[in-house]
Amino acid sequence: MCSARVALCVCVLTLSAAERPVEFNRDVRPILSDNCFTCHGPDAKTKNIPLRLDQEAAAKTDLGGGRHAIVEGSPEQSEIIRRITTESKAKRMPPVYTGHAIAPRELEVLKSWIASGAKWEKHWSFNPPQAADPPRVSAPAWVRNPIDAFILERLDREGLKPSPEASPETLLRRVTLDLTGLPPTPAEISAFLADRSPKAYDHAVDRLLASPRYAERMAYRWLDYARYSDTNGYQFDGERSMWRWRDWVIDAFARNMPYNQFAVEQIAGDMLPNATTAQRIATGFNRNHRGNSEFGIIAEEYAVEYVVDRVETTSAVFLGLTLGCARCHNHKYDPITQKEFYQVYAYFNNVPEHGRAMKYGNSPPVTAAPTSEQQAEARVLDGKIARLQSAIDARAPLTRREMESWRSTLTGSRTSWPLASGMEKDLAKILYDIDDRFTVSARVQSTAVPHGAVWSRMSNSPRGRGLGLYAKQGMLHVHITSDYDDDAIRLNSKVALAAGRSYNVLLTYSGSRMAEGIHVYVDGSEVEMEAELDSLYRPLGNAGKAFKEPFRIGEGGGPENKFNGVVSDVTVYSRVLSGEEIAALASTSPSLLYYLDSAASPDLRAQWAELAALRRQREALERTFPTVMVMAERSERRPTHILNRGQYDKPGEVVEPGVPAQLHPLPAGVPNNRLGFARWLVAPENPLTARVAVNRFWQMMFGVGLVKTAEDFGLQGEWPSHPALLDWLATEFVRSGWDMKAMLKTMVTSATYRQSSAATPELLQRDPENRLLARGARFRLPAEAVRDSALAIAGLLDSRIGGPSVKPYQPDGLWKELTMQDMDYVQSHGRDLYRRSLYTFWKRTVAPPMLANFDAANRESCVVRESRTNTPLQALNLMNDVQFVEAARVLGQRMMLEGGATPAERLRYGFRLATGRLPHDSEAAVLQGSLSYHLDYFAGNAARAGEFLAQGESKPDAHLDRRELAAYGAVGSLLLNLDETVTRP
């Protein structure tokens, strides 16, 4: 820790401060914040500490006895300096136990600041960005756009010069990797080198920004910020389905949706007027948090955690603030009170959700999210249905006359007229579980008050597992039960069935796992049901075990539940019937539907059957629609309390939704709800949103943000390396209409970006972290790009966009050894093995090992800062993981097939595929040596070559010599493991 802080000081202070006067925001506040604010900051009051150093007036006030913490112009009289420098250990600040200490250099800064008048400033990031004119610089010719002027102005002050422009090969590789996450192809390199026009580079950038690969590359970082995952997390970590949200993100980047719209739709798309399906899907952003389905949890505890997660994620991603620090007490550093935290919390606390997540699948609220192909298919079916329906409607008068004459021929009486089409005829096959849709209609009659099971699929005890419709002393009772105590839905009617009468009782269930998905009708009229329990989360067939109870009529749930009368005319449908159909089933006289279904002329019946078949097809299609968890609003606002110490069971004062007072107010005319909050986020007055966004773009293009603490723009965040540049970018971003592609283009076409990344010993010493950018940035590829590059270089990469997540190679047993019995990794096959890494199935508790090895964000919670380490496990991964061994041998094959006739040509081709340039002679010689070695190595041993070539599912080209192919494969692996291959140059 200490060392990290020292390093930061070295970087910020020694490189910059020498000739400049002390500046409060840059130099002073960080010292006070880091060392003093824990006690003498915004939360001082709760600790009964009178002195505050985060506010000017308080810091300069009389502390009693004429003592002042800070006396303008006089360090000697300032108590703060006395206490820092006192010999008395007991009195010295900061106290020893805090582990903090003011460094001599920091003390000098404080003294000189006080001596020069102790001028106070508002924290820099809370002031709106100012669009300054680009400064005058020493070498105007170097400046390609204003970015360069700001960078060069600082270099001028440091006495440094920019580096020369990188070679065209390097430049193309750099910008292609940065914008698309993939290396350039040989054809792209050749075209670029051949393009002599001064606009060649600009054209390449335009081409890359227009590529779907760009949208995927931008999306995968956004997934980290949004803690996207394919599982719920926590203990059981069951699968969920959020990939339609992921695809929405890709699509938004592809269409270059303005960032303000991008933000509003994700925060509150559901509340926009006439919200589209896409806008609802966008709100999955704030449902990507983890969900706990562990048996025995207290649901209220986790309901709170979900809302907290939304606040933390939203504030980190859009505001660069750590609002979560104010959950238990006032923020220790930033001017945000605990009350304000809960006011923001209130915006996100109105979702109709349950604290316990579904064990398998999505937790409500969810929305059906058909893909565009599915939507097209549905439109075709709807058209056919409408045409057939209108044909049938057109002859309605005739049909009615025919039906009347048919009715007049009927004799005797019947109690029901079931609809034959779609009826389940084999009751033994009815194995409905909690996700199934169904309708069950029955006629009941008892001489006593009806009591007992009408029908059920249930174990033989009254509180057992299963589902069914019951009469309980006349009242209707429906239940779906996985565990009687707290994993069930139970509903009771308010009105009772009477003795001696015959009733049609009909139940429909939508498969929603919620009480709202159950409707009960008596003689065709819906009856009001009251939910006794609505907390179902596990299927009847749980943990891989089948639930075998049969469908029973008149019994189930123990002998005491045998029906005390007659149950007859039971008809079952595997769908939710329409109102008209429900009425037809309830009726004791034949309905038009019955007539069309069973009694009309053969032609008409055939037409009707076709229509019914189309409707079933439509319904079946609808059942395949993926769903996605979304935000929604409760009809009645849930009150929000301040939670004492942040604990769910310690509610305090009730608060109204509101934004932090230190920031701008809600824009005029917006409602004070989640949508209003979203509008506030992207209001022009918001000092943070644009800065935070452009800083992350900068981080993507340069490896480190202008504010290194990309997640924290608060008082403990880092002072920007180039404040005026950050402000210029932020104002430019807003001025351009929040145009993300334009912003990136500005960055990558700057001279700053285009510099060579070759360092010199002097530069390494002056600026080891390259924060001044006197050279180009050079850093290891992100995890996704390491894998995607290898696949692209081998020519294996699958280019399909979107869809459900896939499961590429993974060592056996990784899931099984940590998870519950019924969870094992079932690897994908064929093309799915070679999809881009953003489509790799992400299981939170057992992350994909290769991506985790290469520092991918953990997806447990929001991560916005990129991290890079360099470990032996990465080396083992790249050399030995079957994904990379296969890519290596396919690269070897590609060298042989496409590279040319001679080994030298083939090796050059492979090297160029991997690094984007041609090898120097010395490099070529090493490659040639390696090839010769491996030709010998495999030559004497066909079995060796066979084993090596058997890695991975793709088949080697049978026409090639296997030993030679293996040797090229080994060299292929060497190429994939080069530092240069896994590095953005």
Partner 1 sequence: MNPLDQARLFITRRHFFARTATGLGAAALGSLCAAEAGGKSTGGLPGLPHFAPKAKRVIYLFQHGAPSQLDLFDHKPALAGARGKDLPASIRMGQRLTGMTAYQASFPVAPSIFPFAQHGQSGSWFSELIPHMAQVADDLCIIKTLHTEAINHDPAVTFFQTGFQLAGRPSMGAWVSYGLGSENQDLPAFVVMVSQGTGNAQALADRAWGSGFLPSKYQGVKFRAGGDPVLYLSNPPGYESPARRRYLDDLAALNEMSQRELHDPEIATRIAQYEMAFRMQTSVPELTDLSHEPDSTFEMYGPDSRKPGSYAANCILARRMAERGVRFIQLFHRGWDQHGNLPREIRQQCLQTDQPSAALVKDLKQRGLLDDTLIVWGGEFGRTVYSQGTLTETNYGRDHHPRCFTMWLAGGGVKPGISYGETDDFSYNIAENPMEIHDLHATMMHLLGVDHTRLTYKFQGRHYRLTDVHGRVVRDIVS
**According to CB under 8 A, which residues from 760 to 789 bind partner 1?**
760-761, 764-765, 768-769, 778-780
Q: Give the CA distances from residue 534 to residues 221, 303, 484, 632, in Å, rounded to whole numbers and listed in that order.
A: 37, 15, 11, 18
Q: Which residue from 280, 290, 674, 908 is in contact with partner 1, where contact means CB under 8 A?
A: 290
Q: Give the CA distances from residue 961 to residues 285, 629, 795, 892, 945, in Å, rounded to whole numbers and listed in that order.
A: 52, 53, 20, 12, 10
Token pair for residue 269? 């798309």
By beta-carbon proximity to partner 1, the closer residue of 205 and 975 is 975
946 is a site residue for partner 1 (CB under 8 A): yes
Q: Which residue from 530, 665, 929, 957 is in contact with partner 1, where contact means CB under 8 A?
A: 929
Residue pair 588/416 in contact (Cβ under 8 Å)? The answer is: yes
Q: Which residue from 381, 845, 891, 956 is in contact with partner 1, where contact means CB under 8 A?
A: 845
Site string for partner 1, 388-407 (x = CB under 8 A): --------------------
User: What is the C-alpha separation between 756 and 745, in angstroms, rounded?
Assistant: 18
Distance of CA 295 to the CA centre of its chain: 25
User: What is the C-alpha separation between 923 and 633, in angstroms, rounded?
Assistant: 63
Token pair for residue 381? 């079916």
Q: Which residue from 812, 822, 898, 905 is in contact with partner 1, where contact means CB under 8 A?
A: 812
944 is a site residue for partner 1 (CB under 8 A): yes
By beta-carbon proximity to partner 1, the closer residue of 234 and 248 is 234
Residue span binding partner 1 (CB under 8 A) among the ranges 2-10, 251-259, 412-420, 448-456: 2-10
Q: CB of 715: closest distance to partner 1 in angstroms?
A: 7
855 is a site residue for partner 1 (CB under 8 A): yes
Contacts of 95 (CB under 8 A, 6+ apart): none
Q: For residue 652, which phi and psi values (nearest 5 degrees)?
A: -115, -140
Q: Which residue from 943, 955, 958, 959 is in contact with partner 1, where contact means CB under 8 A?
A: 943
**Among the listed residues 764, 699, 708, the one whose alpha carbon sits nearest the alpha carbon of residue 224:** 699
Q: CB of 325: closest distance to partner 1 in angstroms?
A: 7
Check residue 430 and report its DSSP letter.
-
Q: Which amino acid type is present at position 810?
A: Q
By beta-carbon proximity to partner 1, the closer residue of 399 and 716 is 716
Contacts of 267 (CB under 8 A, 6+ apart): 283, 285, 286, 314, 318, 674, 675, 677, 678, 681
Q: Is 429 exposed, middle or buried (0-12, 13-18, 19+ CB in 10 A)?
A: exposed
By beta-carbon proximity to partner 1, the closer residue of 273 and 296 is 296
Q: Which residue from 288, 459, 819, 837 is in contact with partner 1, where contact means CB under 8 A?
A: 819
- Residues 222-261 interacting with partner 1 (rule: CB under 8 A): 233-237
Q: Give the CA distances from residue 291 to residues 236, 305, 379, 648, in Å, rounded to whole numbers and listed in that order.
A: 10, 9, 35, 16
Residue span binding partner 1 (CB under 8 A) among the ranges 205-213, 385-393, 417-425, 973-981: 973-981
**Among the listed residues 725, 773, 718, 731, the one whose alpha carbon sits nearest the alpha carbon of residue 26:** 718
By beta-carbon proximity to partner 1, the closer residue of 236 and 698 is 236
Site string for partner 1, 483-522 (x = CB under 8 A): --xx------------------------------------
Residue span binding partner 1 (CB under 8 A) among the ranges 292-300, 563-571, 685-693, 721-729: 292-300
User: What is the C-alpha separation between 190 and 192, in angstroms, rounded?
Assistant: 5
User: What is the C-alpha separation between 724 and 683, in angstroms, rounded?
Assistant: 21
Q: Which amino acid type is present at position 507?
A: L
Q: CB of 374: closest distance to partner 1 in angstroms?
A: 34
By beta-carbon proximity to partner 1, the closer residue of 676 and 892 is 892
532 is a site residue for partner 1 (CB under 8 A): no
- Residues 635-654 interacting with partner 1 (rule: CB under 8 A): 649
- Residues 154-183 interacting with partner 1 (rule: CB under 8 A): none
Q: Which residue from 48, 274, 870, 902 is in contact with partner 1, where contact means CB under 8 A?
A: 870
Q: For residue 42, which phi and psi values (nearest 5 degrees)?
A: -60, -25
Q: For residue 923, which phi and psi values (nearest 5 degrees)?
A: -70, -45
Residue span binding partner 1 (CB under 8 A) among the ranges 621-629, 655-663, 799-807, 856-864: 856-864
Residue span binding partner 1 (CB under 8 A) among the ranges 395-403, 538-546, 573-581, 752-760: 752-760
- Residues 696-735 interacting with partner 1 (rule: CB under 8 A): 709, 711-712, 714-717
By beta-carbon proximity to partner 1, the closer residue of 657 and 919 is 919
Q: CB of 889: closest distance to partner 1 in angstroms?
A: 9
User: What is the C-alpha separation between 622 and 168, in angstroms, rounded?
Assistant: 52
Q: CB of 938: closest distance to partner 1 in angstroms?
A: 8
Residue pair 440/551 in contact (Cβ under 8 Å)? The answer is: no
Q: Which residue from 457, 476, 970, 972 is in contact with partner 1, where contact means CB under 8 A?
A: 970
885 is a site residue for partner 1 (CB under 8 A): yes
Q: For residue 488, which phi and psi values (nearest 5 degrees)?
A: -165, 160
Q: Which residue from 51, 131, 378, 759 is in contact with partner 1, where contact means CB under 8 A?
A: 759
Residue span binding partner 1 (CB under 8 A) among the ranges 211-219, 651-659, 740-748, 757-765: 757-765
Q: Which residue from 871, 898, 905, 918 is in contact with partner 1, where contact means CB under 8 A?
A: 871
Residue pair 945/963 in contact (Cβ under 8 Å)? The answer is: yes
Residue span binding partner 1 (CB under 8 A) among the ranges 102-110, 453-461, 742-750, 866-874: 866-874
Residue span binding partner 1 (CB under 8 A) among the ranges 73-81, 83-91, 517-525, 917-925: 917-925
Q: Which amino acid type is present at position 621?
A: L
Token pair for residue 414? 């019947």
User: What is the C-alpha separation between 153 and 143, in angstroms, rounded?
Assistant: 11
Look at residue 468 and give its three-state secondary structure.
strand
Contacts of 698 (CB under 8 A, 6+ apart): 705, 706, 729, 747
User: What is the C-alpha separation between 214 and 786, in angstroms, rounded?
Assistant: 16
Contacts of 296 (CB under 8 A, 6+ apart): none
- Residues 77-116 interacting with partner 1 (rule: CB under 8 A): 97-99
Residue pair 357/363 in contact (Cβ under 8 Å)? The answer is: yes
Site string for partner 1, 432-471 (x = CB under 8 A): ----------------------------------------
By beta-carbon proximity to partner 1, the closer residue of 8 and 496 is 8
Q: CB of 238: closest distance to partner 1 in angstroms?
A: 10
Q: CB of 703: closest distance to partner 1 in angstroms?
A: 10
Alpha helices (H) in 337-454, listed in sequence order: 338-347, 372-394, 396-408
Q: CB of 669: closest distance to partner 1 in angstroms?
A: 34
Q: CB of 171: closest distance to partner 1 in angstroms?
A: 15
295 is a site residue for partner 1 (CB under 8 A): yes
979 is a site residue for partner 1 (CB under 8 A): yes
- Residues 298-337 interacting with partner 1 (rule: CB under 8 A): 298-299, 305, 316, 322, 325, 332-334
Size of the residue set binding partner 1 (CB under 8 A): 114
958 is a site residue for partner 1 (CB under 8 A): no
Residue span binding partner 1 (CB under 8 A) among the ranges 445-453, 473-481, 738-746, 918-926: 918-926
Rounded (10°) angle between helices 882-898 and 962-977: 120
Q: CB of 566: closest distance to partner 1 in angstroms?
A: 36
**Among the listed residues 452, 438, 572, 442, the one whose alpha carbon sits nearest the alpha carbon of residue 510:** 438
Q: Which residue from 191, 297, 599, 670 is in contact with partner 1, where contact means CB under 8 A?
A: 297
